[in-house]
Amino acid sequence: MTTQRQAVLGLLAQHEDQIVSEWLQEAGASSGRLTDAARRAMAVEASDVLRTLRTAPQADADPEQFQAAPWTPLRQVLEALSRSRAAQGQSAGDTSQFVLAFKRPLFTTVQRTVADPQSQLAAVWAMSTLVDKMAQWTVSTYQQTREDIIKRQQQDLLELSTPVIKLWDGVLAVPMIGTLDSSRTQVVMETLLQRIVDTGATLAIIDITGVPTVDTLVAQHLLKTVSAIRLMGAECVISGIRPQIAQTIVHLGIDLEGIASKASLADALELALRQRGYTITRTV
């Protein structure tokens, strides 16, 4: 089978332009739905894959061992193709279909140039196996890329959903909205501690008005955050404790002794200002 692969690789070099043209036609590059830029991008992708395919593999490279070292350059080209399409919002199916469209021009080239039927069959089988592996690799890379994008977006959303606000000189506030979990609490803690260092704040208000429920796990997360704040030399006030949450905390036996708490963010800010010697008076 190695002889057939070498023969086909030689045909790729001789008929590269024709194969690329037939590949693009098979992949639907002539469709009126595609823009000129999309057609040019597909042509570049096809040319890169074909050029790498005919130059990268060693003579003993086995398509069944597609993750082996000889196929590394081709895998890298396919990974770049898949990541680019994933970033553009194209589906894994569209990407794999584009690679699988490579089969017809390959088979057509073999039929035109290889006379012996047995050699034709061996060459077609070898290249069919390779193209299938290539398509599978693009799907795997696409899935990994999408997972990375989703994780990055989740991290961005976490950071956006936990802003640290400067309410007054030396006073920071973190309005919490939604359910607290370990990953989100970690983001809150890291962001808040960094802002304490950056601003020299001495008091942080954690407002849980937007937290729907408080259970043992949520309370533990809050206590850890308070402990970390104190280790940085600052104090902490928890605000937004509604009557239902207060009853839940009591029933669960959660000890918040030593932690200042207020019913609202306004009350917490008033406490913070009073501790710093400010007096709030009505002018009218």
Q: What is the DSSP string of 2-29?
A: HHHHHHHHHHHHHTHHHHHHHHHHHTTT
Class of the domain covering 165-275: alpha beta
Tokens encoding 37: 């830029």
pLDDT at 1: 46
pLDDT at 214: 77
Q: Which CATH number fits domain 2-156: 3.90.420.10, 3.40.1190.20, 1.10.490.10, 3.40.640.10?
A: 1.10.490.10
Lowest mean pLDDT among 74-83, 168-177, 211-220, 228-237: 211-220
The HSE-up count of residue 59 (CA atoms within 13 Å, CB side) is: 2
Same fold flag, 2-156 and 165-275: no
Do residues 172 and 165 lie in contact, with contact meaning Cβ atoms separated by under 8 Å?
Answer: yes
Strand, coil or helix: 233? coil
Q: What is the DSSP string of 141-184?
A: HHHHHHHHHHHHHHHHHHHHTS--EEEETTEEEEEEES---HHH
Highest mean pLDDT (candidates 16-30, 90-104, 108-122): 90-104
pLDDT digits (tens, 9 = 90+) for 246-258: 888 788 787 777 7
pLDDT at 155: 67
pLDDT at 64: 78
Quick one: what percent of the chain has pLDDT higher than 90? 10
Domain boundaries, the chain: 2-156, 165-275
pLDDT at 150: 78
For the entire predicted model, the pTM comes to 0.53
pLDDT digits (tens, 9 = 90+) for 126-155: 788 888 998 988 888 888 887 887 777 776
Beta strand spans in the chain (E)? 165-168, 171-177, 203-210, 235-239, 260-262
pLDDT digits (tens, 9 = 90+) for 12-62: 777 788 888 888 888 876 565 677 787 888 888 888 888 888 775 555 567
